Chains A and B, each alone.
Chain A
Amino acid sequence: MKIAIASGKGGTGKTTVAVNFALAIGNTQLFDCDVEEPNCNLFLGLDLDKQEDVSIAIPEIDSEKCSLCGSCAEFCCYNAIAKLPQRVMIFPKLCHGCGGCQIVCPENAISEIKRPIGIIEKGVHAGSGISFFQGTLGIGEPMATPVIRRLQAHIDEKAVVVVDSPPGTACPVIATVGEMDYCVLVTEPTPFGLNDLVLAVEVVRQLKVPFGVIINRHGSGYNGVEKYCYSENIPILMKIPYDRKIAVLYSQGIPFVQRMPQWKENFRAMYHEICSISSENTLQDSYSGVRN
């Protein structure tokens, strides 16, 4: 069972939900896929061991062999190669590592070198049996998706998997949520929260991943999010009230289920609800999509 915790908007409480949820059900694999800003371990405080460097293959040009024909620069659709009058210049950060330049070079002048762009680390939370994996994108590096992909290679298909997704609706989110059995969308009860929830719902529906909503910081007096969920028949899995105690625990990096045990039960109940929704879907679902 693989569950993504996502949201259109940043700051709605994805990490809070992911960490507390994983702690409540126990014996899970927890993945922090928000590789631009991984924060789960601030709440777990685990010692992490490096598993691997994430690298992409970038071209290296043998100037002896290069005839300055410019085919590589012409082929590259990322503008990562520029042909200058005297030499060919590479912009490593723009390169996606597709290998095309090497294929098109008529002089065999291009080889590839590995350029590290991030790291994958692992830690174990003995108390709850959580295996935790985190990816971190290097500072100044633009491309999060390769780091997320490497992180996903550590998913154990037999385990209960909880994934803290990056915010938004762009490539890294798709890379994360597209591989999941269920998606929990965390939102806040404000007009911004609603606006971004609608965008996220569009994405998750396109990906054909079943989903439900958690309203975090409930009690602002704005009920647009609830109205939307009812009108769209989207299950509201949980409402977490705006509670100063929870906010302060969050600020200190303390998962609130550790101090407010009744919430452990709430998260467990939510997990059982998700499992039953999923098994119903599996029975009804004859979807054979593009994913392999």
Chain B
Amino acid sequence: MVKQLTVISGKGGTGKTTFTSSFAALAENAVIADCDVDAADMHLILQPEIFEIHDFYGLDVATIDKELCTDCGICVSSCRFAAIGSGKVVDVYKCEGCGVCEYVCPANAVSMIAKKAGEYYCSNTRFGPLVHAKLGAGEEASGKLVSDVRRRASELAEQSGKDLIIIDGPPGTGCAVIAAITGADMVLVVTEPTKSGIHDLERVVQVARHFRIPVAVCINKRDINDRLSVSIGEYCKINYIPVIGMLPYDNIVIEAMVEGRSVVEYSGGKFSEGIRSVWGKLENLLVQEKEGLVELL
């Protein structure tokens, strides 16, 4: 049975990828999936050697044949997304590919065109297989791409006998995050002791609970505001969320990043010890009966 762990934060910049890349180094038998498809960073640390490239098609886009168009305006008034402007031009950034305009056009002037919106890759890295992606600039459907990345990661895990998929999730609480956590065995939220960090932690915990996924929390940059770190701990206690680590701000994170290494590879210092300890606790939580954790929800 392949387990899946998704690392999220709600808020960007709390250190998701720092942790995930170190987990990748520490895990014995895992596939890594970088699901922050808008701004994938994992490859900067894992230096992947790509062995497989897949095209990603998001939603189709409407195009209007100016020769056939009679300017009747039915498509314009039927489009709920205000994507068809004057001059029979479709705004690709507004079109959601629903196909209504194509259906209502009496002159058959509209067609839906498949549009390549990005790519996803399977790679070998020094820590095992990595599935990662690049969404074209300004493309839609990042949630769909996240699902594709996860599906390929699951197939790879099955094929190569891995027992864990570690997913680096996107920021936020919307489409991409939902796609990154649904069906996961566990969510780790990396947070920071700032007002924004707490606000986003609370929202993202609600999302995880909405989908009935067990949550653990790790506090990064603990010493930016010790008082708020305590508040986060209290919030977690009241909500039966295990806090499995509290790490101080450490410049070693940027140093390791500049060298293209994960922190645990780069240094054996305190921060690395902290990550190792978090990883140990995560492994324990992951092998526990999933049902046992859900009971707390």
Contact = CB atoms under 8 A, between A and B. Distances in A.
A139 B199 contact: no
Contact of B142 (A15, A170, A196): A170
Interface stretch (A187-195, A227-235, A261-269): A187-195
A242 to B, nearest CB: 10
B199 A167 contact: no
A174 B93 contact: yes
Contacts of B175: 142-144
B98 interface: yes
B245 interface: no
B14 interface: yes
Contact of A139 (B90, B142, B203): B203
Contact of B138 (A10, A11, A57, A169): A169
Interface stretch (A62-70, A82-90, A154-162, A248-256): A248-256
A175 B200 CA distance: 22
A222 B258 contact: yes
A174 B138 contact: yes
Nearest to A138: B173
Interface in B118-158: 135, 137-143
Interface residues of A, number: 65
B254 A168 contact: no
Contact of A191 (B44, B98, B176, B251): B44
A175 B93 contact: yes
Interface in B74-118: 78, 80-81, 85-86, 89-94, 96-100, 103-104
Interface string A4-32: 00001111100100000000000000000
Contacts of B193: 251
A140 B211 contact: yes
B225 A9 contact: no
A91 interface: no
11 contacts: A9-B39, A12-B13, A77-B97, A99-B78, A140-B206, A142-B174, A167-B39, A170-B141, A250-B194, A291-B85, A292-B86
Interface of B: 9-14, 17, 37-39, 41, 44, 59-60, 78, 80-81, 85-86, 89-94, 96-100, 103-104, 135, 137-143, 170-178, 192-197, 199-200, 203, 206-207, 210-211, 224-225, 228, 251, 254, 257-258, 260
Interface of A: 8-12, 15, 34-37, 39, 42-43, 57, 75, 77-78, 96-100, 103-104, 137, 139-144, 166-175, 178, 188, 190-192, 195-196, 199, 202-203, 206-207, 220-222, 247-248, 250-253, 290-292
